[in-house]
Structure 1
Amino acid sequence: MLYRESGQFKTSYKADMAIFPIRQDLWGVITTLIVAVVIVPAFASEHMIVGYLLPF
């Protein structure tokens, strides 16, 4: 485990049933999406985009 879940208390049932109930999970997903959608295409070569990223 990379982080501790202690100290992140939920005050409602809706907050407890959230898709990302822990803040680190939400920020990790946001960071991964930004890197995948913005950073990689901005700095990738044409070969990498056509050969590796396009099939996915």
Structure 2
Amino acid sequence: MSLQLNTLFVTTDGAYLRKDHETVVVRVEEATRVQVPLQHLASVVCFGRVG
């Protein structure tokens, strides 16, 4: 099994990131847009008004 480490790019204004157990959750306007396991990420890059 190979594990690909990826970069999560967040470019949506008003997006919020939070850690939920072992995942990163991206929420926009009270709705979850994406949930990614931390073990699959090498980095997170945010552009714009992201909290």
TM-score exceeds 0.5: no
- State the structure with bigger RCO (CA 8 A, min sep 6), 1 or 2: 2
Q: TM-score, normalised by structure 1?
A: 0.21
Please tell me whether Structure 1 or Structure 2 has the larger radius of gyration of its CA atoms. Answer: 1
Larger proportion of strand: 2
